[in-house]
Structure 1
Amino acid sequence: MKAAYCSQAGGPEVLTYGNVADPVIGDGDVLVRVEAVSIEGGDVISRRIGQPASERHVVGYQAGGVVAAVGAAVTRFSPGQRVVAHAAFGSHAELFAAPEAQCFAVPDGVPMDVAATVPVTFGTAHDALFEFGKLAAGETVLIQGAAGGVGIACVQLAKRAGATVIGTAHGADRLERLRGLGLDHGIDYAREDIGARTKELTGGRGADLVVDMAGGKGLAQLLAALAYRGRFAAIGGSSGEFPVFTFRDLLAKNLTVIGVYLALEIGRRASEMRSQPTIPGSPPASWSCRSIGYSRCHKLPKPMLTSSEGILSAACCCTRDGHSRTVDLGGKTRS
């Protein structure tokens, strides 16, 4: 099969598109014939600093398509079904093998190049805001990196939950587009001090929750932006640096720091579901984000996703040039 692969970490130049062996599925796996892939921010970080699993390490961890085959123990899917799947690697290829627990049925009428971007991005946003962040209506959330994939999802979900949404991005144009998705206040981090501006916007109180996708040198400003007993959800390090907290950082305002890693949650929740004979209120063939704990997802009004000049893309992803894109293996790219 054709795939995007690498043999070492580094810049975009380490990627090669060529022939690799077809994946071999185990008893609990689903083999997907890929129609669209989602290039996530984590893909870029993995390419830069990750350790390839083989000489021809197929990159990517999320894609959508049609089930080509299933392992002997798979019960929720069969060949011909439309699904989105994710795994540790291997999605940017013509064929993608993933555990059944990490596959989600795609409803009829939902374009595959949109569906392929949803589980990791919106699942991570939901966990950061609600499962761990405990965001409630009337609270204020500060989203660092609001123009990125998870940031876009956070803006939409937080607004629909009744929170006041403050987001950071580079440039007034990106912030203006985010306002159409629910952003209440925008901060251009290249021109404004995040902590001081957040305090100004909240009457000196600060944000109840910070969701940070960037990491790096902005940590001090984000801590300054938090209210007393605020919560800090650490998701990633798109800047190339991960946040490091000191004991004094936490004691200064009695802060709570939360790590958010969706893959661990899906694995644990899937294991819990497997111990139950059925999924209450949901037939096995419709196993979805809702089935593994994202109960709020189905209540949100449509449309939730948007696309505009590669910044606010349904793809919720980061490519070589830092923009968001949905990649269709049929040769089309929607920016």
Structure 2
Amino acid sequence: MFAWLCENPTGVDALTWQELPTPEPAAGQVRVAIRAASLNFPDLLIVQNKYQLKPPLPFVPGAEYAGVVEALGAGVTRLKVGQNVACLAGTGGFGTHVIAEAAMCLPLPDGFPHVDAAAFIMIYATSHHALVDRARLRAGETVLILGAAGGVGSSAIQIAKAVGARVIAAASTAEKCAFCKGLGADETIDYGSQDLREAIKGLTGGKGPDVIYDPVGGALAEPAFRAIAWRGRYLVVGFAAGQIPALPFNLALLKGASIVGVSWGGFARQEPEASAEALAELVRWYGEGRIKPVIDRTLPMAELKAAYARMGSREVKGKLVLVNP
């Protein structure tokens, strides 16, 4: 097998494409021939030693992938050789083969392509957990999505519309706002050229959004929170801007608002049955055509560094996916 190996987590440039022994699965594990793997923001942080997950060195990055089960370890009965699966394992995806825990593999129904499957679990599970579970978003409510043109943002637009909410998509350029409109957003805000707080007020008649979905953080957080509706729910999804904001607690008091943490990984570990039910609903929604990953582009697995560079340029709309021949 071949894989991108991180022997020293000092950044993308330190990754090397190496030939490694093809591993055999232990009990409860499977070997997956990787067909596609998506690039997510944590995949950048982990090779910079900035992510909360710090795997022992050396490791193969790539949190999310899809492929074909190639070999079974002892005791594995829920999967079979030749079965298509997707997995969100944290590491291992940027290569040709990987060993995965069988319990973490999502069996794919017929008609679910590997490229879509590799770009599915992280963004849709996060957005479903955020909007449906944590925020209890209801039909007719208004949700503001920051960073709406990115992977999680685009999934949040689709899930919010599936629930029946009104969506205001906020992004950094007019081009990205047009992209969000194409995904079903009802209104958009270009916070690269508009005052975010004033634009929110204008689009909500001064009431503010019932739910704010924030995977960006940084300087956008406080003006967005100041515009939130009474009893609003502010979803802390991530910090793509790099800066973790510090919100004045008096704002939550004055608005009767909630600051709600969103950690799908923690949810999946602490409440595995509820997480499995959410994933099953998402797979069903995919089959019904209600949600579908937006693929910015696919690149050969050997061009991982070019994919990282594109992600760093903030030009990505949707998801970047690496593919093996």
TM score, norm. by length of structure 2 = 0.87
- Percentage identity across aligned positions? 32
How many Å separate the matches in 2 of 1:23 and 1:243? Answer: 43
Match of 1:130 in 2: 132
Report if aligned partners of 1:269, 1:292 keep a CA contact under 8 Å in 2. Answer: no
- Deviation, 1:56, is 2.4
Report if aligned partners of 2:5, 2:60 keep a CA contact under 8 Å in 1. Answer: yes
**1:46-65 map, 5 Å:** 46-48=46-48, 49-50=50-51, 53-65=55-67
How many Å separate the matches in 1 of 2:42 and 2:55? Answer: 16
Structure 1 residue ranges without an equivalent (≥5): 274-288, 312-317, 331-335
Match of 2:302 in 1: none
- Deviation, 1:309, is 5.7
Greater fraction helix: 2
- Deviation, 1:319, is 3.4
Residues paired across the two proteins, number? 307
Match of 1:4 in 2: 4
Once the two structures are superposed, residues 253-304 of structure 1 have per-residue CA deviations (whole angstroms, 9 ceiling, x without a partner) of 122111112122223343x48xxxxxxxxxxxxxxx7x43346422464163
TM score, norm. by length of structure 1 = 0.84
How many Å separate the matches in 1 of 2:218 and 2:25? Answer: 39
**1:1-335 map, 5 Å:** 1-23=1-23, 25-48=25-48, 49-50=50-51, 53-270=55-272, 272=273, 291-294=276-279, 296-297=281-282, 298-299=284-285, 301-302=288-289, 304-305=291-292, 307=294, 310=297, 319-322=308-311, 323=316, 324-330=319-325
Structure 2 residue ranges without an equivalent (≥5): 299-306
How many Å separate the matches in 2 of 1:134 and 1:292? Answer: 16
Report if aligned partners of 1:127, 1:262 keep a CA contact under 8 Å in 2. Answer: yes
Report if aligned partners of 2:44, 2:308 keep a CA contact under 8 Å in 1. Answer: yes
How many Å separate the matches in 2 of 1:307 and 1:299? Answer: 15
Q: Secondary structure at the match of 1:135?
A: coil
Q: Secondary structure at the match of 2:168?
A: strand
Q: Which moved more, 1:49-58 or 1:101-110?
A: 49-58
Match of 2:301 in 1: none
Report if aligned partners of 2:158, 2:290 keep a CA contact under 8 Å in 1. Answer: no
Match of 2:303 in 1: none
Report if aligned partners of 1:142, 1:209 keep a CA contact under 8 Å in 2. Answer: yes
Once the two structures are superposed, residues 156-204 of structure 1 have per-residue CA deviations (whole angstroms, 9 ceiling, x without a partner) of 1111211110111121111112112111111111111222111110000
Report if aligned partners of 1:45, 1:238 keep a CA contact under 8 Å in 2. Answer: no
Report if aligned partners of 2:8, 2:58 keep a CA contact under 8 Å in 1. Answer: no
- Deviation, 1:46, is 2.1
What amino acid is the match of 1:292? E
- Deviation, 1:326, is 1.9
What amino acid is the match of 1:179? K
Match of 1:314 in 2: none
- Deviation, 1:146, is 0.4
- Structure 1 residues 23 and 215 mapped into 2: Cα distance closer, same or farther (>3 Å)? farther
What amino acid is the match of 1:70? L
Q: Which moved more, 1:20-29 or 1:84-93?
A: 20-29
Q: Secondary structure at the match of 1:229?
A: coil
Q: CA RMSD in A?
A: 2.3
Report if aligned partners of 1:45, 1:240 keep a CA contact under 8 Å in 2. Answer: no
- Structure 1 residues 22 and 257 mapped into 2: Cα distance closer, same or farther (>3 Å)? farther
- Structure 1 residues 265 and 99 mapped into 2: Cα distance closer, same or farther (>3 Å)? farther
Once the two structures are superposed, residues 43-85 of structure 1 have per-residue CA deviations (whole angstroms, 9 ceiling, x without a partner) of 1222232375344221011111111222323231121111001
How many Å separate the matches in 2 of 1:149 and 1:308? Answer: 9
- Deviation, 1:307, is 4.8
What amino acid is the match of 2:324? L
How many Å separate the matches in 1 of 2:30 and 2:136? Answer: 34
What amino acid is the match of 1:32? V
What amino acid is the match of 2:97? L
- Deviation, 1:249, is 3.5
How many Å separate the matches in 2 of 1:225 and 1:202? Answer: 9
- Structure 1 residues 307 and 138 mapped into 2: Cα distance closer, same or farther (>3 Å)? closer
How many Å separate the matches in 2 of 1:225 and 1:16? Answer: 46
- Structure 1 residues 74 and 264 mapped into 2: Cα distance closer, same or farther (>3 Å)? farther
- Structure 1 residues 294 and 106 mapped into 2: Cα distance closer, same or farther (>3 Å)? closer
Match of 1:280 in 2: none
